Amino acid sequence: MNQSIPEKLKGKTYIDPRTDTGFKNLFASKDAIKDFVDGILHLKGDDQIKDLKYSFDEVIRFMVPKERKISLDAFATTNSNRFLNIEMQKADHGFFIDRTILYKAFLIIRGKQEMEETEEFKALSKEEKEYRRYEIPECISIWICDFELPQTMGNYIDEWAVYSRESLNKGKAEAIFPKNKYIMVNLTRFNKTADEVKDPVDIWLYVLKHAHEGKPLPDFGNDIVNEALNRIKIENLDKTTLTEAEREMTTKEEIACCLASAKIETRRETRHETKIEMVDAMLANGKLNDEEIAAISGFSKDDILKRKEILTKRR
């Protein structure tokens, strides 16, 4: 084996496409992004993307009123003035939904600005420009989440949009503004085997979920995916890229450990609060003495006495 390969990557075929370096290398071509987006948006025939521009780590800045900025994992514009943001999200947090909304707000404003800079828009008459001053282009956010998304109700792909509550109540599930949508991918719920994978989207999701495991992935007959896999194949990468990939692997493991630790601590706190509630109930009932309550709850007798003092002061 090549001795320049970092220790954590030895024995593996690919770098992890769920990390920043792996994700950028996997989708580092127009064809790869087009194949993935055409599939996930169900674009067929003439509706498929003909051409696009893309960039990674695209920084968008606005004054609102102070300067705010966000960095998009992948930003793409298509020949049909469709604006796309593709995010690979490795860890959940309390304001994840807020983040998706904030990123979309920035994406919409960026799309609006770029639409008005097109030759087509500049060629419009003054009256037409005024008439279209509120028009915004189609803006789509695609979030690939490597954590559980309960909002997807157990499915691995869901689409969020703006709906009328009354229409939904009447059984009409039709977005009132289809140009603004979110495609949410719950990678943890994608459980198809290699034999079950058929369409391009499932192929890309299979790669994202399994490429880090070590073994070569099967040939799904998709040349674009095969080229992408070659871009994340360890034997094809330089030392700088491999070093960065290893560093990101370590960061990902640290994030996972922190999340696991936080969940454990939360469970401990919940159990402790439940025990306190149980002690309070037994003290209020008055049928058990302090020793019996201590034996049942696992608290010391001194803890029970302190709890009695607290409850007495509250009365």
Q: Is residue 253 part of a domain?
A: no
Whether residues 268 and 216 fall in one domain? no
By residue range, what is the domain housing residue 54?
7-237
Place of tokens 């039709």: 174
Residue 105 CB neighbours (<10 A):
14
d(C-alpha 148, C-alpha 96), whole Å:
12
Whether residues 220 and 126 fall in one domain? yes
Using alpha carbons only, give the angle 8, 236, 249 rounded to the nearest 5 degrees. Answer: 25
For position 258, what pLDDT does the model report? 47
Residue 286 CB neighbours (<10 A):
7
pLDDT per residue as tens digits for the range 173-219: 889 999 999 999 999 999 999 999 989 999 999 999 999 999 999 99
pLDDT per residue as tens digits for the range 1-22: 455 788 889 899 999 999 999 9
d(C-alpha 266, C-alpha 64), whole Å:
36
Whether residues 73 and 195 fall in one domain? yes
Q: Is the pLDDT of residue 314 over 50?
A: yes
Q: Is residue 70 part of a domain?
A: yes
Whether residues 232 and 267 fall in one domain? no
The domain tally of the chain equals 2
Cα separations (Å) of 23 from 113, 144, 251, 287, 301? 28, 11, 15, 63, 57
Report yes or no: 228 and 29 within 8 Å, Cβ to Cβ. Answer: yes
Q: Is residue 76 part of a domain?
A: yes
65 vs 47: which has the higher pLDDT: 47
What is the dihedral angle through the alpha carbons of 51, 140, 63, 120, rounded to the nearest 10 degrees?
40
> What single-letter amino acid sits at 203?
I
Whether residues 279 and 207 fall in one domain? no
79 vs 218: which has the higher pLDDT: 218
Mapping DSSP to helix (H, G, I), strand (E, B) and coil, where does residue 251 land?
Answer: helix
Whether residues 292 and 197 fall in one domain? no
pLDDT per residue as tens digits for the range 235-271: 999 999 999 998 887 655 445 544 455 554 545 454 5
pLDDT (average), residues 119-127: 94
Of 237, 272, 292, the one marking the end of a domain is 237
Whether residues 221 and 269 fall in one domain? no
Across the chain, what does the average pLDDT equal?
87
Q: How far does Cα 192 stand from its chain's mean position?
A: 19
Report yes or no: 118 and 175 within 8 Å, Cβ to Cβ. Answer: no
Rg over alpha carbons for the chain, rounded to the nearest Å, is 26
d(C-alpha 217, C-alpha 195), whole Å:
12
Q: Is residue 249 part of a domain?
A: no
Q: Is residue 251 part of a domain?
A: no
Whether residues 203 and 67 fall in one domain? yes
- Listed in order, strand segments (DSSP E) in 79-165 are 82-89, 138-145, 157-160
d(C-alpha 62, C-alpha 243), whole Å:
34
Best CA proximity match to 140, nearest among 262, 37, 281: 37
